[in-house]
Amino acid sequence: MTDLFTSDNPWELFGLWLTLAKATPGISEPTAMTLATASPQGAPSARIVLLKDIDDRGFVFYTNYASRKSRELMENPQAALCFYWMPLDRQVRMVGTVEPVSTEMSDAYFATRGREKQIGAWTSKQSRPLETREQFEQELHANTLKFESVDPIPRPEHWGGWRLVPTEIEFWIQQPYRLHERRVFTREAGGTWTSVMLYP
């Protein structure tokens, strides 16, 4: 039995792998994952975000709701996530649909962030063109003054979480000679998960 079969529940298996990644030296961002989105015409784009929560529906990250990724997700809610933990030679990838998390959940997470990051979230027009770095720094400074006597800083409406609700999750372990092991879970109509192995 390999680590691919420690559990028949993909949530539990992912939790075990993430715990292992967090305990492994040399993985500075164990929650870093590639998020792939696509335009309504199907043109893909990808970037790294951090996994901030796993609940019983899916995998949660936070970002600017006016960013490129969010604009694409609003128009086309299909997305993919991919984790790679290099020292462990393991990969997890999943596809599914996204939904915004509740405003209460975004508020609660925003409240845990330091004031500098909160002011950054208020100031950044993420993914929009910026003339000069100085302009952004001036806007940051202006917001720092604006919020000086505001505590707690409220969450801006343009910032919050997305949850990817997976329909398929694949676990991959590198093996010598490219003879890797792969196990893919698929969510059935009733919500149960079935799995098969894949050729390398």
Ligand X SMILES: Cc1cc2nc3c(=O)[nH]c(=O)nc-3n(C[C@H](O)[C@H](O)[C@H](O)COP(=O)(O)O)c2cc1C
Of 47, 93, 178, 182, catalytic:
178
Identify whether 152 is preceded by a cis peptide bond (ω within 30 of 0).
Answer: yes
Say how far apart CA 101 and CA 53 lie, in whole Å: 11
CB of residue 52 vs ligand X: minimum separation in angstroms? Answer: 7
**94 Cβ contact partners less than 8 Å away, ≥ 6 residues apart:** 59, 80, 81, 82, 164, 166, 168, 169, 170
- Assess contact for 171 and 183: CB atoms under 8 A: yes
What is the spatial distance between Cα 156 and Cα 167, in angstroms, rounded to a whole number? Answer: 31
- Cα 125 to Cα 127: distance, rounded to the nearest angstrom: 6
Q: What does the alpha-carbon distance between residue 86 and residue 152 come to, in Å, rounded to a whole number?
A: 39
Distance between CA atoms of residues 198 and 188, nearest Å:
18
Shortest spacing between CB 28 and ligand X, in angstroms: 8
Look up 178 and say whether it is catalytic: yes
Compare residues 44 and 154 and give the one whose CB is closer to ligand X: 44
Q: What CA–CA distance (Å, rounded) separates 43 from 33? A: 20
CA–CA separation, 152 and 32 (whole Å): 28
Q: Rank residues 140 and 173 by Cβ distance to ligand X and give the closer one.
A: 140
Residue 145 CB, nearest distance to ligand X (Å)?
25
Positions that interact with ligand X (CB under 6 A): 29, 32, 45, 47-50, 61-63, 67-69, 126-127
Instruction: Tell me whether residue 61 or residue 83 sits nearer to ligand X (CB atom).
Output: 61
- Which of residues 14 and 62 has its CB atom nearest to ligand X in the complex? 62
Helices H, strands E: what count in the chain? 5, 9
With respect to ligand X, which residue has the nearer C-beta, 13 or 33? 33
* Residues involved in catalysis: 178
